[in-house]
Chain A
Amino acid sequence: MSNHGHRGNNATALTLILPAIALLGFFFVWPIVLSCYFSLTDMTLSGSRAVRYHFVGFENFKHLFADPLFRTSCANTLIFLALSAIIGQLALGFIVALIMRGKRRWFRSAVGITVIAGWITPEVIVAICWVAFLSREGSVNAMLMGAGILEGPISWLISFPMASVVFANIWHGTAFSMIQFQAALDSIPTSVEEAAEIDGASGFRRLWGITIPMVKGTIMTDSILITLKTLGVFGLIYAMTGGGPGTKTTTLSVYMYKQAFSSYQMGYGTAIALVLLLLGVILSLCYMRVSKTPL
Chain B
Amino acid sequence: MARTRLRALPLIAAALVAFAFAGQAAAQKSAKDVVLKFTYKQNGASDPLEKWLKDKKIIEQFEAANPGVKVQLAPIPSTEGDYATLLALQLSSVKTAPDIFMEDTYMTATDAASGYLACLDPYLAGWSDWAKYLDGTKAAVKGTDGKSYGVPISTDSRGLWYSYEVLQAAGVKTPWQPKSWEEILDTARKIKKHDASVAPIYLIVGAVNGEGVTMQTFDMLLYGTGDTMYENGKWLVKSKGILDTFRFIDAVYNKEKLSVGLDVALAKDSGSQVYAKMFPKAKAGIGLGVCTTSGNWVPTGPAPIADVEKVFGFAAMPTQLGGKPATVNLCGGWSWAISQYSKEKDLAFKFIAFCGNKENATARSLYDGRMSPRSDSISIDEYAKRPFIKEMVANMANSFVRPKNESYAMVSTQVQAIVEELASGSLTPEQAMAQYQARITNIVGKDKTFEK
Contacts and interface: CB of A to CB of B under 8 A. Distances in A.
B424 A244 contact: yes
A148 interface: no
B131 interface: no
Contacts of B92: 45-46, 50
A264 B410 contact: yes
A258 B421 CA distance: 14
B406 A262 contact: no
Interface in B379-437: 406-407, 409-410, 413-414, 417, 420-421, 423-427, 435
A51 B81 CA distance: 22
Nearest to B206: A244
A247 B423 CA distance: 11
Interface band, chain A: 20 to 34
B85 interface: yes
Interface majority SS on B: helix, strand, loop or mixed?
helix
A63 interface: yes
B246 to A, nearest CB: 14
Contacts of B348: none
Given A47-B409, A248-B426, 7 more contacts: A45-B89, A63-B442, A244-B420, A246-B424, A247-B426, A263-B410, A265-B443
Contact of B421 (A46, A155, A157, A247): A247
A42 to B, nearest CB: 9
A264 to B, nearest CB: 5
Nearest to A44: B410
A93 to B, nearest CB: 26
Contacts of B107: 46
Interface in A4-59: 44-48, 50-51
Nearest to A59: B442
B263 A244 contact: no
**Which 10 pairs from chain A and chain B are nearest by CB?**
A155-B263, A246-B426, A246-B424, A246-B421, A245-B424, A47-B406, A50-B114, A263-B413, A48-B113, A158-B263
Contact of A262 (B85, B115, B266, B423): B85
B261 interface: yes
B214 to A, nearest CB: 12
A47 B435 contact: no
A71 to B, nearest CB: 13
B386 to A, nearest CB: 33
B208 interface: yes
A158 B266 contact: yes
Contacts of A51: 114-115
Interface string A225-260: 000000000000000001011111000000000100
Interface in A245-295: 245-248, 258, 261-265, 268
B114 A48 contact: yes
B216 interface: no
Given A45-B85, A155-B261, A158-B263, A244 B208 contact: yes
